[in-house]
Amino acid sequence: MARKLNVLAAINTPTLTPCHLDFMPRNLIRGGVGIVRVIHFEHARYHLPARDLVRLATRIRTSRPDLREAFCDSNGPLTPLDWQIIDWCTVIDLASLAAGGG
């Protein structure tokens, strides 16, 4: 795990972006006119953009491959670096889940 953290720390990204870091169905609500809103920002902070997709990729889309296709159709394909970041950050997310933090 330490190796993956070192690799993440060394990624040369021009800017970090605001990330929710807990995109799960429980944190999305849909209003009467179909507008989806994100709630619960307790984990939000600036991070690598692909980091925000970890929980969707590892907890939701594994049982729903159609959602991965729909995401890429709407937002464009993820880069190989995006997939590496998701893979590396999955370790962090699973450790947080095991510790009761997710």
Q: Please check whether the domain covering 2-98 is classified as CATH 3.40.50.300.
A: no
Confidence of residue 101 (pLDDT cuts 50, 70, 90): low
Tokens 């933090």: give the residue: 101
Confidence of residue 1 (pLDDT cuts 50, 70, 90): low
- Residue 91 pLDDT > 90: no
What pTM was estimated for this model as a whole? 0.71
**CA dist., res. 21 & res. 33, Å (int):** 26
- Let me know how many helices (H) and strands (E) the chain has, helices first: 4, 4
Separation of CA 60 from chain center: 11
pLDDT tens digits along 26-76? 898 998 898 989 999 998 999 888 888 888 888 877 777 788 788 788 888
- Yes or no: say if 41 and 20 are a contact pair by the CB < 8 Å rule: yes
